[in-house]
């Protein structure tokens, strides 16, 4: 009886040792005792960044003014697998893009089977629409057949637009926006619309009594007063 009890305790102790060893081994193997993250995650999903989190940057008009069509040609090389841009070029996976700027969205290349998402979008390929399309075709026209993810760099988009404009023309470039231009124009507009308002000295001779009186009220001098003033001079 005593031997059986010793044997049972022995098996229990052995089982505990096995369980403890297995726990220790699994902890080291799976890194459960290491709070640090792995040096390299399993995979990344490349995207265009969070919506609304991107800095607005310079206006598109300024990017176009500072851009380069030749630089845009280099960026456009990514598009040549699907598009031609020479005059009279054939449609491929995507439509020929010669002269596309300024034309109706989804209506430029005759005979090309545009998706309904693009042909029914409305509007024309102006600079703002082309910039938005190049940034993310799927965001611009949900359901488009174009699988290109888009150009995240605003300068690249502006350069491609200039390259498109160089091949077939289009609307004139917008005027660049000068820093603080709106504020200065607003101040000038206020002065021109209300030249007599606001404090400040007025250049010229000192106002006489009749002029001072007229400036202090909304009443205008009667014809007799004007005549009297003129005859006195």
Integer Cα distance of 117 and 141 in angstroms? 6
pLDDT bucket at 184, cuts 50 / 70 / 90: very low
Integer Cα distance of 101 and 180 in angstroms? 30
* Tokens matching residue 187: 């101040």
Residue 104's DSSP bridge partners are 124
Answer whether residue 131 is part of any domain: yes
Integer Cα distance of 182 and 180 in angstroms? 6
Answer whether residue 140 is part of any domain: yes
Alpha carbon 65 to chain centroid, angstroms? 17
Report, as an integer, the average pLDDT of 222-233: 42
pTM given for the model: 0.56
- How do residues 127-169 score in pLDDT, each as one tens digit? 999 999 999 999 999 999 998 999 999 999 999 999 999 999 9
Answer whether residue 148 is part of any domain: yes
Residue 65 CB partners (closer than 8 Å, separation 6+): 173, 176
- How do residues 9-65 score in pLDDT, each as one tens digit? 676 776 767 766 666 665 555 554 544 444 333 333 233 433 333 456 899 999 999
- How do residues 190-203 score in pLDDT, each as one tens digit? 444 444 444 444 44
Answer whether residue 113 is part of any domain: yes
Answer whether residue 173 is part of any domain: no
* CA Rg value for the chain: 38
Answer whether residue 146 is part of any domain: yes
**Domain of residue 122, residue span:** 60-166
**Angle subtended at Cα 169 by Cα 85 and Cα 111, rounded to the nearest 5 degrees:** 50
Q: CATH code at 142?
A: 1.10.760.10
């Amino acid at each position: 009886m005593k031997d059986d009890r010793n044997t049972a305790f022995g098996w229990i102790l052995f089982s505990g040792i096995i369980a403890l060893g297995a726990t220790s081994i699994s902890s080291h193997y799976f890194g459960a005792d290491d709070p640090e993250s792995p040096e390299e995650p399993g995979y990344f999903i490349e995207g265009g960044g969070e919506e609304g989190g991107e800095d607005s940057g310079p206006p598109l008009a300024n990017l176009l003014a500072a851009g380069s069509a030749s630089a845009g040609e280099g960026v456009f090389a990514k598009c040549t697998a699907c598009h031609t841009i020479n005059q009279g070029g054939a449609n491929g996976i995507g439509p020929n893009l010669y002269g596309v700027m300024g034309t109706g969205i989804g209506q430029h290349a005759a005979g090309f089977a545009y998706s309904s998402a693009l042909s029914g979008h409305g509007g024309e390929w102006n600079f703002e629409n082309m910039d938005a399309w190049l940034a993310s075709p799927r965001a611009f026209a949900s359901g488009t057949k174009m699988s290109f993810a888009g150009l995240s760099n605003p300068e690249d988009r502006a350069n491609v637009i200039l390259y498109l404009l160089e091949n077939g023309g289009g609307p004139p470039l917008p005027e660049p926006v000068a820093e603080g231009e709106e504020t200065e124009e607003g101040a000038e507009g206020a002065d021109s619309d209300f030249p007599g308002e606001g404090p400040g000295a007025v250049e010229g001779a000192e106002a006489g009594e009749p002029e001072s009186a007229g400036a202090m009220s909304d009443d205008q001098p009667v014809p007799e007063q004007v005549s009297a003033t003129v005859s006195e001079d």
